[in-house]
Structure 1
Amino acid sequence: MQTRFLEYIFGLLLTLKYVLFSVFIYAQEPEQERQPNKETDARALEISREIFSRQTAIRNIQNDIGIFDQSLIEAYRDMARFYTELEDYENATQFYIEALQIARINTGLYSYEQISILDSLIASNISADKWQEADNFHELSYLINSRLYADANLKYLQAAETYGAWKLRLVRENLLEQSGFSLLNTAEELSQFYERAIERLEFSSEVKAEHLLKIIYGKSQVDLTLARSVAATPYTAFEGTERPYINQTRCQNVRNSQGQVVRQCYSVQVENPRYRISQRDAKQFALQRHTRDISSSIAKLEEIKNTSSELSNAEKQQIELQISELVTESEQLVRSTRRLL
């Protein structure tokens, strides 16, 4: 009885929130502009009724069937969609999370039913500029997809494209406000993710070469980002393969206590001139590694363009443009780095 009463009070509070919000907006208007607005009042009343109706439906399912019943998934999602329409993304997210938890209880940790809920959670958090939360749900979505589609079919390809595109956006816009080092680590991990996904998909009987164009181009963009970063970083920031300092023995003639001239030697630590050379080599090697990866992606794009019978002329021209841009920028990076070394 106490639980039902608390749920009833919670529903009333949700309703009251939007009534008070309408009053607050009205209070902010200049005195001369305050006029009775029947449309606004009607809309506020409609919103309060909709919220109360949905909350009542959820409460009835919980009381009559159970708090973990599968029918609550759609009830929670319906409430979340309504809050999304109101651009109340915080409450929308909370109800989507409730739907996700019920789905996991009823259908297991890795189930198809969770994918669409996670898509909604991602969209809701992005709308609210909650980038870390959106990233967390992207990670969970990809994990579930990779378990569901272990055979690397077109569904897995779509999940890999979505995950990769999101991570590339994180890197380009630095949405998580990472330090330079952390951001490079994220980019490195993304490049490796793309490489593994491409290798996995290339052996799939369901996936055609043309299907891989987006994911191959995505990898080239990450590698280009990494190459730019290497090119812009001073060689002194790279760790060389030689020891930074070496010991040298220095000697000098000094007089001892008896007044005799004797040779006295001692060891000093000095900078190793070969260390800076090895730092330059390390930067050059890092740049070559990323430009080599870009060249590999270019070769894959070229092969698909030249051998495909399914691509239209417009699509082939688009690939040619992408290849041209990749070649031009990677060559410019190599030339600029050589001038600086």
Structure 2
Amino acid sequence: MPWKHLVVCGCLFWPPLPAIAHPNDSIVPERPKPTPYGFQISRVKDLQQRSVGPWDLDDGTGTGLPVADYLRVVQGREREGGAYDTQLVEPLHDLGRAYQAGGRHDEALATFRRALHLNRINGGLYNSAQLPLMNDMIDSYLVLGDLDAADQLYDWRFRVQQQAHSPGQPEMQQAVSEYVDWQRQAYLQGITGVTDEGFRRLLTIYEAHSAQIEQLEEAGDRGAAYREALYNRLEVEYLISQYDGEKVPAVQLNISGWGGTTDELATSTSIEAERFRQLREYNLRNGINTARRIVDLEDSAEQPDPVARARARLAAGDWYQWWGLTARARQNYEEAWAIFDGDESETTDPDDLFSRPVELPDTRVFHPDGIAPSEDARARAVVSLRVSRDGRAREIEVVEQEPPEDMGARVVLYRLLRDVRFRPVVRNGQTQSVAGVVREYRYQY
């Protein structure tokens, strides 16, 4: 990815950007406030529909036989071929899974590591036959709570998957999806890994999606995988928009005359920090460009699908709405309504598309799905509110609250709801204010 500037001296800080014009953006409003829906506040209904992640494990599947039986198979193979016989890989894998099924994860990991070592002796560091072993090892690391080890193995597994699968293959799509979802979860839960710089995970997610997009473009593939990659990259823009900054060490580079030992100065930290700084600086523009590519892609299809075209405009409208560009958001919402209104299909009622306000972003990108439990106090509240035509909560009334009479929890609730951005209701092709919206929320305070 090209970048224009090298690095500034000292340390990099990323405070919120001021609401001023930028030479690369016609409009740069104030950065969205850090109260993302799904992270600090969520509808109870959405929490009940939580997606299942790789940390939701089922240890009751079993492997078919007791541990002792698999152990005898391993011992028999060792007597025939020795301790380094590569034909031990499969029996060791079976033995490890038997340990795992019985909850003996330390023993399972020791067995998996031995099998993995033998596998690499025979097939090399990047052979795809080791992927099932890696999958099971990750499961055991997560059960044991060794998140740093799981994190490192996720990275190595993804390298192997990139060697094993081509862009556009279903296996590669699944690999990217699992890898970036882990990175997202680890970022939201504050898992540090090798470094405590959370921006690295966001950069990793963004670049994984961007690489997939570029590879599919080079292959001339504009199909479902390409569309999904574009939507995924737009989704990570929401995470980047809410990044609240951290101090990152940088180095001083003397452009006019290097002098001295320069290799140790040009560290990866400075390069990655600069790449992310630019992603954050141009976050609004990058999201707009990705949304426009989706819209253009759906509009230019040989047989345009009205559902896909409307969805693309919803995504674009949501991004504008997220940034407070309500006029542009309204234009996209009303275009989506018009697409459904004009397609003459009984299955695409335009009013159904916008029948209720929707908290933004309309995605689970800010939902940490439970790698580690949150220690924050949580409250629950049922509220009645009006959502204005510009997507803001107004006339907020608390109907129920837990804990009751806790003014601190109530103050936080009002603050959060005032900053939540909604996709407004559209009726007869126009955005409308709607009152009497009842929501049940869980939130941190």
Shorter-chain TM range is 0.5 to 0.7
Q: Give the alignment of 1:286-301 within 5 angstroms.
A: 287-301=280-294
Which of 153, 157, 161 is equivalent to 2:177?
A: 161
Q: Where does residue 322 of structure 2 map in the other structure? A: 329
Q: Given that residues 224 and 291 in structure 1 are in contact (C-alpha distance below 8 angstroms), is that contact kept between their aligned partners in structure 2?
A: no
CA apart distance, 1:314: 5.7
Partner of 2:72, secondary structure, is: helix
Distance across 2 between alignment mates of 1:66 and 1:302:
61
Alignment of 1:227 onto 2:241: yes
Deviations 1:169-197 (A, max 9, x none): 22222233798x70023312432332223
Q: Give the alignment of 1:185-224 within 5 angstroms.
A: 185-205=200-220, 207-224=221-238
Q: Alpha carbons of 1:312 and 1:102: their partners in 2 closer, same or farther (altered >3 Å)?
A: farther
RMSD (CA atoms): 3.4
Distance across 1 between alignment mates of 2:278 and 2:109:
46
Deviations 1:40-99 (A, max 9, x none): xxxxxxx9x922222222111111122222331221111122122223322222222222
Q: Give the alignment of 1:225-304 within 5 angstroms.
A: 225-229=239-243, 232=244, 287-304=280-297
Q: Given that residues 240 and 283 in structure 2 are in contact (C-alpha distance below 8 angstroms), is that contact kept between their aligned partners in structure 1?
A: yes
Q: Alpha carbons of 1:64 and 1:313: their partners in 2 closer, same or farther (altered >3 Å)?
A: farther
Distance across 2 between alignment mates of 1:210 and 1:194:
14
Q: Where does residue 162 of structure 2 map in the other structure? A: 146
Distance across 2 between alignment mates of 1:156 and 1:115:
13
Q: Alpha carbons of 1:287 and 1:81: their partners in 2 closer, same or farther (altered >3 Å)?
A: closer
CA apart distance, 1:285: 7.6
Which of 131, 135, 153 is equivalent to 1:137?
A: 153
Q: Give the alignment of 1:92-107 within 5 angstroms.
A: 92-107=108-123
Which amino acid letter does the alignment assign opposite residue 233 of structure 2? Answer: K
Partner of 1:176, secondary structure, is: coil
Q: Where does residue 261 of structure 1 map in the other structure? A: none
Q: Alpha carbons of 1:70 and 1:177: their partners in 2 closer, same or farther (altered >3 Å)?
A: closer
Q: Alpha carbons of 1:123 and 1:302: their partners in 2 closer, same or farther (altered >3 Å)?
A: farther
Q: Given that residues 287 and 319 in structure 2 are in contact (C-alpha distance below 8 angstroms), is that contact kept between their aligned partners in structure 1?
A: yes
In structure 2, stretches of 5+ residues that fail to align are 1-62, 250-276, 327-445
Q: Where does residue 254 of structure 1 map in the other structure? A: none
Q: Alpha carbons of 1:67 and 1:161: their partners in 2 closer, same or farther (altered >3 Å)?
A: same
Which amino acid letter does the alignment assign opposite residue 214 of structure 2? Answer: E
Bigger helix fraction: 1
Q: Where does residue 299 of structure 2 map in the other structure? A: 306
Distance across 2 between alignment mates of 1:114 and 1:133:
17
Superposition TM-score, scaled by structure 2 size: 0.46
In structure 1, stretches of 5+ residues that fail to align are 1-46, 240-283, 334-341
* Number of aligned residue pairs: 235
Deviations 1:123-177 (A, max 9, x none): 222233322111111111111122233x534143332232222212222222337
Bigger strand fraction: 2
The answer to which structure, 1 or 2, has the higher relative contact order (CA under 8 A, 6+ apart) is 2
Partner of 1:331, secondary structure, is: coil
Which of 64, 68, 77 is equivalent to 1:52?
A: 68
Q: Where does residue 88 of structure 1 map in the other structure? A: 104
